[in-house]
């Protein structure tokens, strides 16, 4: 497990504005920042970021909120520990984990350092190498239209093999265990050898631009033609996209992503001006890839597949995600079986843009491509065609879109009703990978933690909890300025025991406590503190915060006194078992409470009139 101290170090080191700004355009208003929520579609900014507390909150439809860890969990679809590790990597913090979980491998930052050094080594071999292999690598890249400047921009490389990389990295102080864990070396005949040899190397980067893996293309004949890094602690092929670090800004600016199949395709597209292109890494498109692109507020994902049978299969596999994203999935299959790099070799960028502009609905393309293989003039052939297209649509059998899809298919098949199409689709077995999707929750991006539900509470109870959270939010932002109100805050009967515990934790911090430290104190007693504290209304100054707190405390005290008066009257109603002294005390308390309620009601009424 990651220690609480390390978690707190990561929270303190993370600049929430910088983190959110990676994918959200923020504009400063006073001391705070606002933008459009990355977790639901909106045109009017309702997403609020407070750099002092390190908290964020959406005041729009989704009502989500929290700290940097909860933000990156939701944004990147990560478990808690993985989110902490990701933020630690960004901040350059080395975290320690409990050895009780089993043997630990090399530290993540050491793996990334080894991979970055390997990237440099391969690049130098390509650009300066004197061997026949290096010359062959340069010749291959030149044949693809990649001259020295492109090779330099993309840090392309050449892997000579024969232990050259292992020797270089061991000389830099990296251990054999670190090279194995980064998948830069393998054991062959009892010796530690280079994983890649005699291949053109394409470095794969994370979203921060750091090398985390490689793809290598064999020179000459050999299998596999492309060899990719295996899964490592820093690389997961189903969760990474090639060139996303370069493409993310353009994707955000255009709200469009171009998804293709190969490294050279992506490079050729970027060099031709299509800087929003990315590629999956040696695997079919996954739901995690779709979710990654969704973080950048894409409205359209154009799948630019090769014009061969493999491209057709890729389009068919992608259909299963049409209801898992708010983006419009569209498709272009290039003519004459060409891939994007080949097309750009003989056509202008404007001709490719024309292809992209004419992109078709992905599901329409797939349905028609399947049906076009059949002569639909006879009933038997139409039944056969239905069986074939039902296989493609089987992963969507439980989708809310099934009626629409069935109608599309039935329109192309004379004599076959939409109900028959739905039956055929539902009777088809689903491929194992797609079947896992059917068992997932329907949320496009799962929430890090469930939001609290007030459905069972009365209107007055909901208002009480909202007032309590507003007060806590102010204390978190201005802990020192509001300490003078501590006696009044602690005298109130709090409706939520968690809120009272958070208040005491924040007020117990020493003087000159920073807002982030106040939030940390609240988190030490309540795991949901970040979500609770993030929802307060914005205030621009300590004086405004003090004024706002006084007003909220008036309302809270009024609500608290009313609840206490109701409780006292209940006891008086059953007073037959009470002694004279106890009865007198209850009457006096009821009188005092009623007087204070009248005073507060008058005070609040005058304030509302003003």
Architecture per CATH, 459-609: Orthogonal Bundle (1.10)
Name the pLDDT band for 607 (thresholds 50, 70, 90). Answer: low
The reported pLDDT for the residue numbered 180 is 93
Q: Does residue 356 surpass a pLDDT of 60?
A: yes
Token readout for 64 is 């989500």
DSSP-assigned beta bridge partners for residue 191: 188
Q: Does residue 454 surpass a pLDDT of 60?
A: no
3-state secondary structure of 450: coil
Of 559 and 158, which is predicted with more confidence? 158
The reported pLDDT for the residue numbered 159 is 96
Q: Does residue 316 surpass a pLDDT of 70?
A: yes
Q: Does residue 313 surpass a pLDDT of 80?
A: no
Give dist(CA 561, CA 488) in Å, integer: 13
Cα dihedral 178, 184, 186, 190, rounded to 10, equals: -60
Q: Does residue 255 surpass a pLDDT of 70?
A: yes
The reported pLDDT for the residue numbered 282 is 63
SS (H, E, C) 88-144: HHHHCCCCCECHHHCCCCCCHHHHHHHHHHHHHHHHHHHHHCCCHHHHHHHHHHHHC
Q: Does residue 453 surpass a pLDDT of 50?
A: no
Cα separations in angstroms, 234 against 105, 206, 229, 572: 12, 9, 11, 67
Give dist(CA 384, CA 380) in Å, integer: 6
Name the pLDDT band for 436 (thresholds 50, 70, 90). Answer: very low
Report the CATH number of the 244-367 domain.
3.40.1360.10
Cα separations in angstroms, 402 against 24, 317, 392: 34, 17, 12
Name the pLDDT band for 431 (thresholds 50, 70, 90). Answer: low
Range among 138-152, 176-190, 218-232 with highest mean pLDDT value: 138-152
Question: Mean pLDDT score of the chain, rounded to an integer?
Answer: 85
**pLDDT tens track for 204-237:** 999 889 999 999 999 988 788 889 999 888 898 8
Average pLDDT estimate for 12-40: 90
Query: What superfamily in CATH does domain 108-228 come from?
Result: DNA primase, catalytic core, N-terminal domain (3.90.980.10)
Give dist(CA 195, CA 608) in Å, integer: 73
Give dist(CA 108, CA 232) in Å, integer: 10
Cα separations in angstroms, 79 against 12, 75, 76, 239: 20, 11, 9, 13
What DSSP element (H or E) covers 494?
A: none
Name the pLDDT band for 241 (thresholds 50, 70, 90). Answer: very high
The reported pLDDT for the residue numbered 91 is 85
Give dist(CA 200, CA 157) in Å, integer: 6
For helices 108-128 and 80-91, the axis angle rounded to 10 degrees is 50
Weakest mean pLDDT among 296-310, 367-381, 393-407: 296-310
The reported pLDDT for the residue numbered 63 is 87
The reported pLDDT for the residue numbered 169 is 96
Of 436 and 512, which is predicted with more confidence? 512
The reported pLDDT for the residue numbered 439 is 45
Q: Does residue 343 surpass a pLDDT of 50?
A: yes
Cα separations in angstroms, 157 against 111, 126, 196, 197: 19, 5, 11, 11
Domains 244-367 and 459-609 share a fold: no
Q: Which residues contact 604 (CB under 8 A, 6 or more apart)?
A: 554, 555, 558
**pLDDT tens track for 459-471:** 777 788 888 999 9
Of 32 and 201, which is predicted with more confidence? 201
For helices 108-128 and 164-171, the axis angle rounded to 10 degrees is 120
Helices (H), 3-95: 4-13, 16-21, 68-76, 80-91
Average pLDDT estimate for 462-484: 89
Average pLDDT estimate for 82-97: 82
Decide the pairing of beta strands 256-260 and 300-305: parallel
* Alpha-carbon torsion (433, 434, 440, 446), positive or negative: positive
What residue spans define the domains of the chain? 4-101, 108-228, 244-367, 373-438, 459-609
What DSSP element (H or E) covers 270?
A: helix 263-271
What's the fold here for domain 4-101? DNA Primase; Chain A (3.90.580)
Q: Does residue 81 surpass a pLDDT of 80?
A: yes
Give dist(CA 95, CA 368) in Å, integer: 53
pLDDT above 90: percentage of residues in the chain: 39
Token readout for 70 is 């909860």
Q: Does residue 570 surpass a pLDDT of 90?
A: no
Average pLDDT estimate for 507-525: 88
Give dist(CA 167, CA 178) in Å, integer: 13
Weakest mean pLDDT among 56-60, 478-482, 577-581, 593-597: 577-581
Determine contact, residues 66/20, Cβ cutoff 8 Å.
Answer: no
The reported pLDDT for the residue numbered 297 is 78
The reported pLDDT for the residue numbered 457 is 56
Name the pLDDT band for 268 (thresholds 50, 70, 90). Answer: very high
Give dist(CA 577, CA 584) in Å, integer: 13
């Amino acid at each position: 497990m990651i220690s609480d101290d390390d978690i707190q170090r990561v929270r303190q080191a993370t600049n929430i504005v910088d983190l959110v700004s990676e994918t959200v355009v923020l504009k400063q208003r006073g001391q705070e920042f606002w933008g459009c929520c990355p977790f639901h579609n909106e045109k009017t900014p309702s997403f609020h970021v407070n750099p002092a507390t390190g908290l964020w909150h959406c005041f729009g439809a989704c009502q989500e909120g929290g700290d940097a860890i909860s933000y990156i969990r939701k944004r990147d679809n990560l478990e808690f520990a993985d989110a902490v590790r990701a933020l630690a990597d960004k901040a350059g913090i080395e975290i320690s984990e409990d050895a009780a979980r089993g043997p630990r491998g090399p530290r993540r930052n050491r793996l990334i350092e080894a991979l970055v050094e390997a990237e440099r080594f391969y690049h130098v071999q390509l650009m300066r190498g004197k061997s026949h292999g290096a010359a062959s690598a340069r010749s291959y890249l030149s044949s693809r239209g990649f001259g020295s400047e492109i090779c330099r921009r993309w840090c392309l490389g050449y892997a000579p093999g024969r232990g050259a990389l292992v020797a270089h990295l061991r000389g830099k102080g990296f251990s054999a265990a670190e090279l194995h864990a980064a998948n830069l070396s393998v054991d062959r005949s009892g010796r530690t050898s280079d994983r890649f040899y005699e291949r053109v190397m394409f470095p794969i980067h994370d979203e921060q631009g750091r090398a985390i893996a490689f793809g290598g293309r064999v020179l000459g004949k050999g299998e596999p033609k492309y060899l990719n890094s295996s899964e490592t602690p820093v690389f997961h092929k189903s969760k990474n996209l090639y060139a996303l670090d370069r493409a993310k800004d353009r994707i955000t600016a255009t709200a469009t992503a171009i998804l293709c199949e190969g490294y050279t395709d992506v490079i050729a597209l970027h060099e031709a001006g299509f800087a929003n292109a990315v590629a999956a890494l040696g695997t079919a498109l996954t739901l995690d890839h779709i979710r990654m692109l969704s973080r950048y507020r894409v409205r359209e994902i154009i799948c630019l597949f090769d014009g061969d049978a493999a491209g057709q299969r890729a389009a068919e596999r992608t259909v299963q995600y049409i209801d898992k994203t708010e983006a419009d999935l569209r498709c272009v299959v290039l003519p004459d079986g060409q891939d994007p790099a080949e097309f750009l070799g003989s056509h202008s960028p404007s001709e490719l843009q024309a292809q992209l502009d004419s992109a078709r609905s992905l599901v329409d393309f797939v349905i028609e491509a399947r049906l076009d293989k059949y002569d639909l003039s006879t009933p038997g052939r139409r039944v056969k065609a239905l069986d074939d297209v039902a296989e493609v649509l089987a992963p969507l059998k439980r989708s809310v879109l099934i009626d629409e899809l069935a109608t599309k298919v039935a329109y192309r098949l004379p004599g076959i009703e939409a109900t028959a199409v739905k039956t055929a689709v539902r009777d088809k077995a689903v491929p194992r990978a797609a079947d896992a999707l059917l068992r997932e929750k329907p949320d496009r991006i799962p929430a890090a933690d469930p939001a609290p539900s007030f459905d069972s509470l009365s209107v007055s109870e909901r208002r009480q909890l909202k007032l309590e959270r507003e007060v806590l939010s102010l204390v978190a932002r201005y802990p020192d300025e509001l300490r003078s109100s501590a006696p009044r805050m602690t005298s109130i009967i709090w409706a939520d025991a968690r809120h009272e515990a958070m208040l005491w934790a924040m007020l117990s911090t020493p003087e000159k406590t920073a807002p982030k430290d106040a939030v940390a104190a609240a988190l030490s007693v309540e795991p949901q503190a970040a979500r609770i504290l993030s929802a307060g209304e914005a205030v621009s100054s300590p004086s405004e915060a003090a004024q706002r707190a006084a007003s909220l405390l008036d309302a809270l005290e009024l609500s608290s006194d009313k609840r206490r008066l109701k409780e006292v009257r209940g006891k008086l109603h059953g007073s037959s078992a009470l002694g004279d002294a106890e009865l007198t005390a209850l009457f006096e308390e009821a009188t005092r409470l009623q007087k204070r309620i009248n005073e507060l009601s008058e005070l609040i009424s005058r304030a509302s009139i003003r």
